Structure 1
Amino acid sequence: MHTSWLTAKSYGQLSNQVQGPFIAPLPAFDIISVSGTDKHKYLQSQTTCDLDQLNDDTFLRGAHCDAKGKTWSVFHLLQHHDELLVVAFRDELSASVAQWQKFGVFSKVSFASGQDKFATLGIGGAGAETLVSRLGFKLPGGNGRLSRHNQGAVLQLADEHFMLILPKADAIALLDSDYPLAAPTLWLKQHILHGLCYLEQPLIGEFVPQMLNLQAVDAISFSKGCYLGQETVARMKYLGRNKRAAWILQADTDEAPAAGCDIEQQFNENWRRVGQVINAVNINNQLWLIAVLPNDITPADSLRLKSDSAPALQLLPLPYPLS
């Protein structure tokens, strides 16, 4: 785990047993600042979100695809003074930035690591809004909106589920305060239950955005101008070519499968590979995961994790409709 601002001692004191609202450091999420006169135009041509919809009170959820429409990263993007900040899991952000830098040499745009300036944390749990207010922020007022305080920002990803961007010094000081602090896994469980995901190294470039349900969480604009991979993304929508989606699953097991692990479905007496784990977290021998599976899967289908113990997986309802 990347711990540029979180010490091993601080990390070791975090717990999954916090009841009620909590703040969880997210040291595996990185931030890139994008500057230059062409920053808006360039990212508009590279991502699925519409930067024309960005303002001081909103953030964008989006994806970066390759020319074939396969997803390299799922990110959150916001304005910060004269810069744009892109927040994503470290693996996918590194992959996208490498491509953006490669193809951005002909544009007036530059990319700089934000690790020395900012830290990313999550706020969640029942009553999470009380912590947002306690930190000095106004409530954002809805999914896709943000609130600012001093040099920080809090992004509302879903109900009672927030991402907090703070100056690094403020984040370090927060860890020494009396706020209820939790391990990142507690926030990730909530992220999964909201049907949200990020890409770890084995899955970068494997899925079109609709396989990750990004159209259902306002991460794809179908009305903006051209962008990399748009032809494939549009074909999936208008021609009905997409046959897979991200689903939430749960199991009673001590296993914690890595990204890319196989999921099998029973057909008569045989088991056949039908999908892959995207993100997973195990808390107190309860496994929660989000996985790409056929989009016609139902709770009546028998599913299991492909492993030595092969625990049965229960399909949970998504918190949003698929379209």
Structure 2
Amino acid sequence: MHTSWLTAQSYGQLSNQVQGAFIAPLPAFEVIRISGADNRKYMQSQTTCDVDQLNADSFLRGAHCDAKGKTWSVFHLLEHSDDLLVVAFRDELNASLAQWRKFAVFSKASFEPCQDTFAVLGIAGEGAEQLIRQLGFTPPAGKGGLSRHNQSALLQLADQHYMLLMPKPDAITLLDSTLPLAAPTLWLKQHILHGLCYLEQPLIGEFVPQMLNLQAVDAISFSKGCYLGQETVARMKYLGRNKRAAWILQAETDEAPAAGCDIEQQFNDNWRRVGQVINAVNINNQLWLIAVLPNDITPADSLRLKSDSAPALQLLPLPYHLS
């Protein structure tokens, strides 16, 4: 994992054993700033979310698709004065940035990477609201809510699960405090258990947004105007064309599969490839992952990771309803 704003000493002190609420640096997540008179209009034409609904006290989760409706990135979008900030995992953010710049040549919109300006951290765990108050924030009103303090912004992604954008010097200072700090993997475990995901390089451009359950986490507007890939996204909803979804799975194993690794299902005496790992994390030989599988999969189906040890995978319930 890239650790550009973390010292080796700071990173080495982070643990997965923290109990209760914690703060975790997320150095693999980055930010870009979108400036210019057309920034909102341009992003409205490029993304699944309704940018017209964005305000100072909220953020939007959305996706950027290609013309065929395949997802380049899953991101979070918020206001920053007259500008917009986009937060996403580095691989997908770089993929979308290249496309946005290419098609923005006739728009008054400019794109600036902010890896030297902002740092991204995660906050999660029981009692997270108290920790948030210690940082000087008023807890957001609920999922999709945003609170600001000084030059920082706090996004509530789910219950007791947050993303924090801070000026880089403030984040570095925070890591030297006595607040409970944890490794990024502990936050990622919570991210997976909330049914949320991001795209790493092997899976960029592979899935339509509904295969990542983005319709279930308010990341797709079906009432906004046209945007890139809209025809495919709408067809999946109104014609029932989507046959796949993202599912949460767990296993007892020391393996930590990479994005794109295969998952197999047993049919009589044979095993057949039925899906792919999106994100995975292993803590103390407990594997949690989110994967794209058939949308009619059930806990009764026998699933395993395709690997040398082929550990059995247990299907866990999603924290939201699919539609």
Q: TM-score, normalised by structure 1?
A: 1.00
In the alignment, the residues of structure 1 paired with residue 228 and residue 75 of structure 2 have an alpha-carbon distance, to the nearest angstrom, of 16
Instruction: Summarize the alignment of residues 53-92 of structure 1 with structure 2, pairs less than 5 Å apart.
Output: 53-92=53-92
Could you tell me which residue of structure 1 aligns to residue 4 of structure 2? 4
Q: Give the superposition deviation at 1:228.
A: 0.0
What does the per-residue CA deviation read over 1:219-244, in whole Å, with 9 as the maximum and x for residues that have no partner?
A: 00000000000000000000000000
Structure 1 segments, 4+ long, off by >2 Å, are none
Identity %: 85
What does the per-residue CA deviation read over 1:261-312, in whole Å, with 9 as the maximum and x for residues that have no partner?
A: 0000000000000000000000000000000000000000000000000000
In the alignment, the residues of structure 1 paired with residue 303 and residue 3 of structure 2 have an alpha-carbon distance, to the nearest angstrom, of 36
SS in 2 for 1:92: helix
SS in 2 for 1:259: coil
Instruction: Summarize the alignment of residues 30-109 of structure 1 with structure 2, pairs less than 5 Å apart.
Output: 30-109=30-109
Within the alignment, does 1:183 sit opposite 2:187 as a pair?
no
Question: What number of residue pairs does the alignment pair up?
Answer: 323
Q: Give the superposition deviation at 1:82.
A: 1.5
In the alignment, the residues of structure 2 paired with residue 81 and residue 4 of structure 1 have an alpha-carbon distance, to the nearest angstrom, of 26
Could you tell me which residue of structure 1 aligns to residue 232 of structure 2? 232
Instruction: Summarize the alignment of residues 1-323 of structure 1 with structure 2, pairs less than 5 Å apart.
Output: 1-323=1-323
Give the letter for the 1:69 counterpart.
G
Give the letter for the 2:305 counterpart.
L
Q: Give the superposition deviation at 1:101.
A: 0.3
Q: Give the superposition deviation at 1:26.
A: 0.1
SS in 2 for 1:319: coil
Question: RMSD over aligned Cα, in angstroms?
Answer: 0.4
Q: Give the superposition deviation at 1:151.
A: 0.3
In the alignment, the residues of structure 1 paired with residue 148 and residue 99 of structure 2 have an alpha-carbon distance, to the nearest angstrom, of 30
What does the per-residue CA deviation read over 1:126-149, in whole Å, with 9 as the maximum and x for residues that have no partner?
A: 111111111000010100010000
SS in 2 for 1:102: helix
What does the per-residue CA deviation read over 1:23-46, in whole Å, with 9 as the maximum and x for residues that have no partner?
A: 000000010000000000000000
Q: Give the superposition deviation at 1:217.
A: 0.0
Q: Give the superposition deviation at 1:83.
A: 1.0
Q: Which runs of 5+ in 1 are unaligned?
A: none
In the alignment, the residues of structure 2 paired with residue 295 and residue 7 of structure 1 have an alpha-carbon distance, to the nearest angstrom, of 43
Give the letter for the 1:190 counterpart.
Q
SS in 2 for 1:147: strand
Q: Give the superposition deviation at 1:8.
A: 1.5
Q: Give the superposition deviation at 1:116.
A: 1.1
Q: TM-score, normalised by structure 2?
A: 1.00
In the alignment, the residues of structure 2 paired with residue 169 and residue 179 of structure 1 have an alpha-carbon distance, to the nearest angstrom, of 17
